[in-house]
Structure formats: structure tokens, C-alpha cells
A and B are shown apart, each in its own frame.
Chain A
Amino acid sequence: MFILIIGAGRVGSAIAKRALEDGYEVSVLDTDPLSHERLDKDPTRTWEDMGGRFTVGAALEVDGLIEAGIEEADVFIAATSGDNTNLVIAQIAQRRFNVPRVVVRVADPGRAAWYAEQGLHTVCPTQIAIDQAMLVALAP
């Protein structure tokens, strides 16, 4: 199974490394070439040594998405720091490239809920934090 992850921040890079260790084929796209460092296993073994793919490019540029392998992707994860970028590229992955499974990180709970109703698989860290904090804070 081939996973394409957009955004090599804390969330994106952590998912990428774990998926690669679990034996999945993983490709990561980020605008910042330096974000690659987050993916390296240690100073002696780079992300590519471990078998990962990395592409520098903007998420809305179709050429970059294709170079990163969107046409072959089984799973697409939109994990950039911008909600709006994530929501747009997730819909591009779903509608234009027909990626079977699309996951979107959306920090804004209101839109995470509405886009989920529209058929996007949204993950909302804010909502999870709210729920967890409420659970602990209001525990009897």
C-alpha cells in the first residue's frame, strides 16, 4: 500500500516514519527542503536510506503532486499547517485523482464537522484536545 503525505511537520513526519517502519511505501511532499531533516532516522541513516520518498513542492501545484506519486496513491494524508490548504488539496486528491482513502487534518472544529458530513475523512486535533481535556477536568 502506497501512502502520500503532504506536509512534513510534527504530524506528517511522525505518521510517515511510523508507516514506513510498518512496511508501507511512503512519499512525503513539503514546500520546505529543510523539513526533510524531521524524516531522517538518525544522522547516519537518511529517510531515503530507509526507503522513503521526499519531494519539494507546493501542495497546490499539480506537477509536484504527480511527481510525489498522487496517481498511484492508495492513501492521501493532508497534514500541512494550513486548514484551507488541507481542505483544498484533499478535495483535489478525492475528486481529480480518485485516491481511495483521503484523510484531512483540520484544526477548526466547525469546518472539520461540516466537511466530514460532505464525505471527507477529517481529523480535528482541536476537537480531540477539547474532548480529552473535558474528560480529565470534569472527571468525578
Chain B
Amino acid sequence: MYVIIAGAGKVGWNLARELIAKGQEVSLIESDHRRYRVVEEELEHAVQYGDATELWVLERAGIQRADLVIAVTGDDEDNMLICQVAKEKYGAQRIVARVNNPRNVQHFRLLGIQPAVSATDLILRLIEHEVPEYGLVQLLALEEERLEIIELEVCTGSVAAGSRVADVVLPDGSLIISVLRGGAGFVPKADSVIQAGDQVLLILDPGLEEDITPQFAPPAGASVDGAGRR
């Protein structure tokens, strides 16, 4: 596989190193001359000097035969445009873009740049996973397939607490796929009983969250704080 990586910052350099170690052919492109010199000491001919947003630089790197183009510069506009020309002008099979400012995710989406990876968003999700005060945590969104996996806390007094899985009323297009209890997880059967304090993982069509959460929320009038918490 031939991989072009734009941007030899911490992310780009380490990605290049890992991919080369796995036996892939890599060209890393860096526009800052001093940085280029530093990286070249280690990666030698696998790094090229130039501005990857310029077409001739991409062509010199052989973008026509690239299987994968990864844009991980510190500039979101650059990453968007590198991926856009890679995909639309040169027909790159796969692209990956780094999002520096999560507020720009909407622009990546508008230009059809997928996947666009935001480190800030990833870390936020991990924090939410560790600190379930947020109630609903989106664990995974498969945008192309239009599926999501979410995690919900089962609150004391909720409809689901004490119910069998088969008796929890869920909208079509959603399914409980796992129950986390006491630090361990299991795949429930129809007659498994859900308990207050469990976390449940559901797979669903995007947009069904609002129909699902009432089953796991505390009864109306109860204080949200402390319900179902240990």
C-alpha cells in the first residue's frame, strides 16, 4: 500500500514511522524547512519538502498512485483541501483528515471529507465514558452505515430498572446489545433482568435517542441528581 501523509508534526511523523515499520510505502510531506530537516535525519527519502496544498507537490509525491492520503497538518483548511483534491482530482481510494478545531467538523462534512478525526472529540468521548453524569454517551457513529452505538445509565425508578430486556419498549431500529454491571459486561438474553445502576449499550438508527432515553430515565418529578448513582 502507498500512503501519502501531509504534515510532519507529532501525529504525521509517528504515523509515518508506524506505517513504515509495518512495511508500507510512505511519503511524508512537510512545508516547514527546519522541521523537514529534523524529520529527514530519521526518515530520509520517505519525507519530502513542500506545501501539500499545492498540486505539483502532491503530483511529485506520486498522488496518482496513492492508496491512502492522510492530511494531519495543524491547519483545518489545509487538511480539507488536501483531502478534497486527493479524492476528487486524483481519485484517491481512501482519505483521512485530522480536525484541529472541533467546530470545523461541519465544514469537513460539507465538503464530503470522511473520515475526519478530531482528537478533542475523541478525548471528550472518553471522558464522558469515564464520567457517566452525562446520562447518554455516544460511543460510536458509523455515518456511512447510518448506525450509532450509545451507552445509557439505568436510573433508579426508571421503567427499565427491574424489567426483562424483552419487556423494555424500544422503537424499531434499536436494540440492547450489552449490559455493563459491576465492572463486567455481558450480552443479555430476552429474559435477562436489567437493574438500576447498570449501563446498557444500544445500537440504533441515528435520531432515535429521544424515544429511547425515557425508558432509562428517573420517573418524572424525581431529582436527576443521585438517581441510580453509587
| Chain A contact residues, CB within 8 Å of chain B | 60-62, 82-85, 87-88, 91-92, 95-96, 108, 110-111, 114, 118
Minimum CB distance partner of A61 in chain B: B103
- The answer to the question of B2 belonging to the interface, with a C-beta cut-off of 8 Å to chain A, is no
Chain A residues with CB under 8 A of B106: 62
Query: With A60-B77, A114-B89 as given contacts, are A84 and B103 in contact (CB-CB < 8 Å)?
Result: no
Shortest A89–chain B CB gap in Å is 9
Query: With A61-B103, A88-B111, A91-B111 as given contacts, are A110 and B81 in contact (CB-CB < 8 Å)?
Result: no
Would you call B110 and A84 a contact (CB within 8 A)? Answer: no
Would you call A84 and B81 a contact (CB within 8 A)? Answer: yes
Chain B residues with CB under 8 A of A82: 77
Using a Cβ cutoff of 8 Å, how many contacts connect chains A and B?
A: 45
Contact with A along B48-84 (1 / 0, CB 8 A): 0000011110000000000000000001111011000
Would you call B78 and A84 a contact (CB within 8 A)? Answer: yes
| Chain B contact residues, CB within 8 Å of chain A | 53-56, 75-78, 80-81, 85, 88-89, 103-104, 106-107, 110-111
Identify the interface centre among A87, A88, A92: most chain B CB within 10 Å of its CB.
A88
Would you call A110 and B54 a contact (CB within 8 A)? Answer: yes
Shortest B229–chain A CB gap in Å is 36
Interface pairs A-B: 8 shortest CB-CB: A84-B77, A110-B55, A88-B77, A85-B77, A84-B78, A84-B81, A88-B80, A84-B53
CA–CA, A82 to B78, complex, Å?
10
Point out the residue from A88, A110, A114, A118 that lies within 8 Å of B107, measured CB to CB.
A88
Main secondary structure of the interface of A (DSSP, over half): helix
Minimum CB distance partner of A86 in chain B: B77
CA–CA, A95 to B111, complex, Å?
9
CA–CA, A73 to B53, complex, Å?
29
Would you call A95 and B110 a contact (CB within 8 A)? Answer: yes
Minimum CB distance partner of B59 in chain A: A110
CA–CA, A114 to B59, complex, Å?
14
CA–CA, A66 to B56, complex, Å?
36
Chain A residues with CB under 8 A of B111: 88, 91, 95
Would you call B103 and A110 a contact (CB within 8 A)? Answer: no
Given contacts A60-B77, A62-B106, A111-B55, could you give 15 more A-B pairs where the C-beta distance is less than 8 Å? A60-B76, A84-B77, A84-B78, A85-B77, A88-B107, A88-B111, A91-B111, A92-B110, A108-B55, A111-B53, A111-B54, A111-B81, A111-B85, A114-B85, A114-B89
Listed by A's residue number, 29 A-B pairs whose Cβ atoms lie within 8 Å are: A60-B76, A60-B77, A61-B103, A62-B106, A82-B77, A84-B53, A84-B75, A84-B77, A84-B80, A84-B81, A85-B77, A87-B77, A88-B77, A88-B80, A88-B81, A88-B111, A91-B110, A91-B111, A92-B107, A95-B111, A96-B110, A108-B53, A108-B54, A110-B54, A110-B56, A111-B53, A111-B54, A111-B81, A114-B55
